Every structure is written in C-alpha cells, then in structure tokens.
Amino acid sequence: MASSLTKGATAQGTPASGGKTFFGHPRGLATLFMTEMWERFSYYGMRALLVVYLISGGPDAKKGSQGGGLAMTEGNAVAIYSVYLALVYLLAMPGGWFGDRVWGPRRTVAIAAGVIMTGHLALAVPGEGPFFAGLALVALGSGLLKANISTMVGHLYDGPQDPRRDGGFTLFYIGINVGAFAAPLVIGTVGQSYNWHLGFALAALGMALGLVQFLIGTRHLSPQSSVVPTPLAAEERRTWLRKGLIWLIVATVCYGAVVLSGNWTLNWALVPITLLGLIIPTGVLIRIKRDRELSAVEQTKVSGYIWFFVAAAVFWMIFDQGGSTMSAFAEKKTTDNIFGLHFPSSWFQSVNPLWVMALAPVFAWLWLWLARRDREPNTTVKFSMALVLIGASFFVFVVPMAMASDGSTVSPLWLVSIYMIQTMGELCLSPVGLSVTTKMAPEKYASQMMGVWFLAVTAGDCITGLLSIAGVDMSGTGVIALEASLAALAGFAVFMYRKKIVALMADVH
C-alpha cells in the first residue's frame, strides 16, 4: 500500500520529566497511531468488499455467491475501483491545502473522519444512489485526512533532526498495516458471508471509534497542529469561494442537461475523473519544471524526478490491481479453503499488509547491511528492482490464470506468492520514493512535492480505469502479460539510464 504523506513540522518538544510516553515517544503518537489504525481499518475493510460487492448478482459473479450487490460486469467494477483509488490520492493535494490554509491539520482531520464515517454509513444503505454518494464521501474524507495526520506526527518532534522522528513514523506505519491487516478479516467476513451493508456499517463503526479516540486524545497533540500555517486572506477567501461557486454552477448545468436529455451513463462521471487524474499530474510537473524562479540545479533535479514519477505510475498501475483484477480472480477462480479452513475471498486483501509487516524489517536490515559494505543499491537501482518485481508478479499471475481458464479453481498459494513478490517491489519503491521526493524537491515546492508523489498513484490507477472504461479485459491473460512486459521494460530502461538519472539528481544520493 502507498505510504502516508509526511511533511516537515515544527516542534512539540520532549515530554516533561516523568510524563507518560508511547514506547519512548510523545504520548500524542498513541492518539495518531490509533486514529490512523481505525481509519485504515475502515478504508481497507470497505476496499476489500468493493469489487466483489459490485459484481455480486451480475454475470461475472461467482456461482452460488451471496446476491444483493450491484450486478455489474467485472470491467465496470475494475473501472470504478481504479477511479475511486485515483480520487483518494488526487484529493490528498487539496486536503493538504485545507490543512495549511483553512482549518489547520487538527480540525481538518476531525472533519475528515466525520466525512469518512458518513460515507460508510451511506454505503450501508442499499441502492446505487447511496452507494456512489458514500464512495465519493469516503474518497473526499480520505484525501483530507491523508495529507494532514502525518503532518501532526511530525509536529510531535523537535524538527527533522530529532533522533526519535524516524522511529515515530515507523510506529505510525505499523498502525497503518495493523488496521489494513485486520479489516478484511472482520469487515470482509461479515460483509461477504452475512450482509454487505452490515460490513459497510462496521467500517463506519471503525471510523467512529477512531474519531472518538482522536477527540479524546487531542490534548496530547502539539499545539502547532491547531495552527493554520498560512491562512487565507479575506480577499483570497472570497476569490476561492467565487471560483468554486462558478465551477459548481458549470458542473450542475452540464450534468443536469445530460440527465434531463436521458443520456446519462456512469461513464459521464468516470471518464472526466480519469482524464483529470492524468492531466493534473502532467500539468503540475510541467508548471514546476517551467518555473523560471528555480535555479539551474533545481531544474535539473526536477528533470531527474520525472523519471521516478513515471516509474512509480507504472508500478502503481499494476500494484493497485491487487484489490481489483486479483480480487475478482480470488472470488471466482481461487479455491476458498486451505487445510480444510474455508474463508471468503476478501481475506486475500490482508495478505499484503501481513507481508509488509514480515518483510519490512528484513529489507531495513538488508539495506543497512549492504550500506556498511558500501554496496547498497542507489535509488535508481531500487526503482528498477521494484519495476522488475512488479512485472514478475504479473508474469507469475499468468500461470494460475491459464490453469483456471477451463473453469477450475487454483490454489490460494498462487495469490499469496504473487502478493509477496509485489510487496517486495513495494518495499523497494514506496519508502525510497518518499525519501527521494523530499531530497529532490525545489525549495519553493518543498511541501507540494509530497502531494506530487501521490499523484503518481493517481496517474497509474487512472490508466487502469481508462483501459477498463474502453472495454479492455483487464483479467485477460494477454493484457496481464503485456502489463508485466511494460513494467519489466520500464525497469530495464531505468537501470540502463541510471548514470544519466544520477547525474540529473546532482547532490542527491
């Protein structure tokens, strides 16, 4: 899974002598740890149900499975899932803007949690209307929260040089994976085996627990988290409100005309979002690259960073299909028991966070061990490794797909192995990508560049969404093999041009 957004912050200071700590860290970390854990519990629990709920009762549903879903085709389900993920990461940038300029991080997180909870409650109401409204609210709330809660983790420490800082973010990341691991086992089981909407209601309950815990524990957070760093001036606020109102009127008139003319289809919502998910990242990078206020060295670094951005987009394009294409395969074509234990297909969504928790310490140790011997791969090599690994995972995926082509089911160990390979690629790319983004960001765009990094996820998911909308069968063996080849070639290209990229990185190593 993509890591949470991290930004520099001012200090809270060391707890008073004798004060309670959280594993040696400021007590406020416990508040943020639990809030993020419950938010991820709700998010990944709903995500584990999403595709199987969309296809339930439809032509691509598993025979004998629970009905009551939206009876969509797998292609439409993959498109909706991809657009939803893209929207979450696309909204992280305006989410950070609200925290910086309107509400402050603490208030933004509280509002975001309420929006997410409301969204899950809407999903708990049967019908297409409440479902899509709920999905939009969860995406909006997730974008608001993602950009601000990690900022508050940074506020707990005495600046970037605080020796506890990296450890604090490590603990925080554990909270993400604990929530992500538990959610499919609880929400997935209830939703898929008993009642879909009860499962969505459990996701709302999880976010409610997180919100209550956050509100109770806010006294342990840094006072800085309540501050609006660069508040909007009165004139700026009026300008933004005027622009927002104009765009709202334009959208209302355009979509109202489409609905009244009887031409409305789901693509009227999906296509614009996917196109924006490609246009906005491209536009942001071009704007930064063409900024004449940047020094020559900063311009060079931006050129080098574009390589990493494109590589990340290719990586996430495949990786995020773990919850769509692979989820549908798990539902229809994978044996639902191992050693006599039967389980719902949503349990497969717990495999990635389990592998993260198991392999992350191994990778951390490996990089240190190689660094001591002056043999640690540089950033470009790690990115090329990630792309080769994600490509290899889909080359492996072709095998069980071919085995199941006659209608039979395959061992669940195939998917467990594929998720393991993908997690290894994630650990080569995700934390490294966050680090290189902070190092290569021009000073003028220091905070915004973290949002740019998450736009790579948006771009990758939008490519998948557009292909699905265009009618490409994302579960076809040929398409899977083509994606695998593309990733492997991209990894090879990054490796072959590594010296050029390193030169563009200037003083960053």
Complete DSSP assignment for 286-355: HHHHT-TTS-HHHHHHHHHHHHHHHHHHHHHHHHGGGGTHHHHHHHHHB-SEETTEE--GGGGGGHHHHH
Cβ(30)–Cβ(217) below 8 Å: yes
pLDDT value at position 442?
Answer: 87
Per-residue burial over 131-142, b = 16 or more CB atoms within 10 Å of its CB, e = otherwise = bbbbbbbbbbbb
Q: What pLDDT was estimated at residue 509? A: 65
The SS3 call for residue 483 is helix
In the prediction, which pLDDT does 118 show?
97
Residue 48's closest CA among 333, 458, 348? 348
Compute CA distances 209 → 205, 216, 225, whole Å: 6, 11, 21
Query: Among 195, 214, 199, 226, which residue's Cα sits nearest to residue 38?
Result: 214
State the pLDDT at residue 9.
38
User: Percent helix, strand and coil across the chain, each rounded to 5?
Assistant: 75, 0, 25
pLDDT at 11: 41
| Per-residue model confidence (pLDDT) at position 166 | 67
Both tokens of 288, joined, read: 């930064």
What is the DSSP track for 161-178? T-TTHHHHHHHHHHHHHH
pTM, 2 dp: 0.91
Is the CB of residue 154 less than 8 Å from the CB of residue 172?
A: no
Sign of the Cα torsion 142, 144, 150, 155 reads negative
Q: How high is the pLDDT of residue 371?
A: 87
Domain chopping of the chain, boundaries: 21-231+265-504, 236-264
Question: How far apart (Å, rounded) are the C-alpha atoms in residues 465 and 474?
Answer: 10
Question: Token pair for residue 267?
Answer: 């693509």
Q: Rounded distance, CA 391 to CA 389, Å?
A: 5
Give the integer Cα–Cα distance in Å for 345 and 323: 11
Please tell me the predicted confidence (pLDDT) of residue 1: 55
Phi, psi at 276, each rounded to 5°: -60, -35
What does each of the 509 residues of the chain score in pLDDT, given as a tens digit? 544 444 443 344 444 334 577 878 888 999 999 999 999 999 999 999 999 999 999 888 888 777 889 999 999 999 999 999 999 999 988 888 888 888 999 999 999 999 999 999 999 999 999 999 999 999 999 999 987 888 888 888 886 667 777 678 778 888 889 999 999 999 999 999 999 999 999 999 999 999 999 999 999 999 999 988 888 888 999 999 999 999 999 999 999 998 899 888 889 999 999 999 999 999 999 999 998 888 999 999 999 999 999 999 999 999 999 999 999 999 999 998 887 788 999 999 999 999 999 998 898 899 889 889 999 899 999 999 999 999 999 999 999 999 999 989 999 999 999 999 999 999 999 888 877 887 888 888 866 787 888 899 999 999 999 999 999 999 999 999 999 999 999 999 999 999 999 999 887 76
pLDDT at 14: 46
Query: Using CA atoms, how far apart are residues 184 and 395, in angstroms rounded to an integer?
Result: 26
Listing DSSP states for 368-396 in one string gives HHHHHTT----HHHHHHHHHHHHHHHHHH
Residue range 21-231+265-504 in CATH 1.20.1250.20: yes
How many helical (H) and strand (E) elements, i.e. helices and strands, does the chain have? 18, 4
CA neighbours closer than 13 Å in the CB half-sphere of residue 458? 25
Residue 161 pLDDT:
67
C-alpha to C-alpha distance for 434 and 166, rounded to whole angstroms: 13
Picking from 327, 359, 344, the residue whose alpha carbon sits closest to that of residue 430 is 359
* Separation CA 115–CA 124 (nearest Å): 14
